[in-house]
């Protein structure tokens, strides 16, 4: 009986939305340049706000490499630790806190990503959303520039809209 269930589980291993979002986040880091005076070969720290961000899928990025840097993941980040992060993912849970958090990282070289609706209009850099059962993203280039982050033109080409 147990075998039967496991066999089914394997065939039904659909790609979860949260898993795909985690993969998007890893890819975004590959298209981003952090300011030269920042930490160079240190691990790339991806932080998340919200206790169960992407239902554990973000942790799967731990140990991967992006731009030659080892990826580290820190879940449930405290606002006082935000300056240590290179990437900040804000979970949909944290929607009421979005503006408050964005104000805190506005001048820091932190790439902000979220699946909260209208994230780029609230001042976030990359907003993920779903369209026709596929994931898409919007970019707020002005916000990235303000934080001295350079986003590759290849990334901008794939975005639905780019806010200048």
The residue among 75 and 123 lying less far from other proteins, judged by its C-beta, is: 75
Sign of the CA dihedral running 39, 42, 46, 52:
negative
Instruction: Pick the closer one to other proteins by CB: 104 or 163.
Output: 104
CB of 148 to other proteins, least distance (A): 21
> Nearest approach, Cβ of 39 to other proteins (angstroms)?
21
Residue 4 CB, shortest distance to other proteins, in Å, is 10
Could you tell me the sign of the dihedral formed by the alpha carbons of 104, 106, 112, 118, in that order? positive
Which has the closest alpha carbon to 28: 116, 118, 149?
149
Using alpha carbons, select from 121, 126, 122 the residue that is nearest to residue 111: 126
CB of 40 to other proteins, least distance (A): 24
Residues facing residue 73 across a β-bridge: 46
Q: Which spans of this chain sit near other proteins (rule: CB under 8 A)? A: 5, 8-9, 12-20, 22-24, 26-27, 31, 51-52, 55-57, 59-61, 64, 75-76, 78-80, 82, 92-97, 100, 104, 116-117, 130, 133-136, 155, 158
**Between residues 37 and 153, which has the closer beta carbon with respect to other proteins?**
153
Which residues have a Cβ under 8 Å from the Cβ of 91 and sit 6 or more positions away? 48, 49, 50, 52, 53, 54, 114, 115
């Amino acid at each position: 009986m147990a075998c039967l269930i496991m066999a089914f589980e394997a065939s039904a291993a659909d790609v979860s939305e949260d898993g795909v979002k985690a993969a998007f986040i890893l890819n975004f880091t590959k298209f981003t340049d952090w300011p030269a005076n920042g930490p160079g070969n240190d691990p790339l720290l991806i932080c998340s706000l919200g206790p169960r961000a992407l239902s554990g899928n973000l942790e799967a990025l731990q140990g991967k490499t992006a731009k030659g840097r080892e990826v580290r993941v820190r879940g449930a980040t405290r606002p006082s630790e935000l300056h240590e992060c290179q990437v900040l993912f804000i979970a949909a849970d944290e929607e009421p806190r979005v503006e408050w958090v964005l104000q805190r990282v506005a001048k820091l070289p932190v790439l902000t990503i979220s699946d909260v609706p209208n994230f780029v209009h609230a001042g976030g850099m990359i907003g993920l959303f779903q369209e026709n059962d596929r994931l898409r993203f919007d970019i707020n280039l002005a916000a990235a520039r303000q934080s001295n982050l350079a986003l590759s033109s290849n990334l901008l080409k794939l975005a639905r809209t780019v806010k200048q």
